[in-house]
Amino acid sequence: MFFFLSLTTDVCLLSSLRQLLLSQLDYDPLNPFSVSGDELKPVYKGTPSARCSFCNAIYLPAMKGTKCVVCEMAEVGKDVVGLTIKK
Ligand SMILES: [Zn+2]
């Protein structure tokens, strides 16, 4: 009996904790999204975004022009030609 009460209390506590975390995450599970590289916030499909020119990490448009925090090698949102091989 004690185990059952403890398990029920734990499930209720976990459910409340899950609701609290989901309310603080600014997360919509019905829309497809990618996670931004700097703040780990969702960047939903179809919304404006910027990508790292080297590792292709996605960022919010406000991060355009800054150094990528994932690879620390390239500028976010910069248009580049990419790697070319010449003979
Ligand atoms: Zn990068």
- The predicted structure's pLDDT at residue 80: 86
- Residue with the bigger pLDDT between 32 and 28: it is 32
- The predicted structure's pLDDT at residue 18: 76
Ligand 1 midpoint to CA 58 (Å): 9
- The predicted structure's pLDDT at residue 16: 79
Q: How far apart are CA 86 and CA 35, in angstroms?
A: 35
Is pLDDT of 69 > 90? Answer: yes
- The predicted structure's pLDDT at residue 15: 78
Ligand 1 midpoint to CA 34 (Å): 15
- Residue with the bigger pLDDT between 81 and 82: it is 81
- The predicted structure's pLDDT at residue 22: 64
Residues with Cβ < 8 Å from 66, sequence gap 6 or more? 75, 76
Q: Which residue has the tokens 């600014």?
A: 26
Average pLDDT over residues 9-31: 75
The mean predicted confidence, pLDDT, of the chain is 84
Ligand 1 midpoint to CA 31 (Å): 25
